[in-house]
Amino acid sequence: MESLLFIIPISLLGLVVTVYILFKALKSGQFEDLERHGWSVVFDDREDKKTTREEQPPNE
């Protein structure tokens, strides 16, 4: 029972810190565009291949 007096305040403090971090991330726009960064990897790869093909001389 005495351990609950120690565990409950620590867990409440952890909850407050977690909620603070979540709202700080939401306010800064962290979760505004979740798919752009995922697709940018795919599209950057295609653009890199185009530039490497353009830089290579044609085989004759």
Q: Averaged over 25-50, what is the pLDDT?
A: 74
Candidates 57, 18, 23; CA nearest to 10 is 18
Q: What is the pLDDT of residue 32?
A: 80
The string of pLDDT tens digits covering residues 5-36 is: 999 999 999 999 999 999 999 899 877 877 77
Tell me what the mean pLDDT of segment 32-52 comes to: 68
At residue 41, the pLDDT reads 74
Tell me if 9 sits within 8 A of 2, measured CB to CB.
no
User: What confidence score (pLDDT) does residue 6 get?
Assistant: 93
Q: Are 31 and 25 within 8 A, CB to CB?
A: yes
Query: Looking at residue 45, what is its pLDDT?
Result: 57
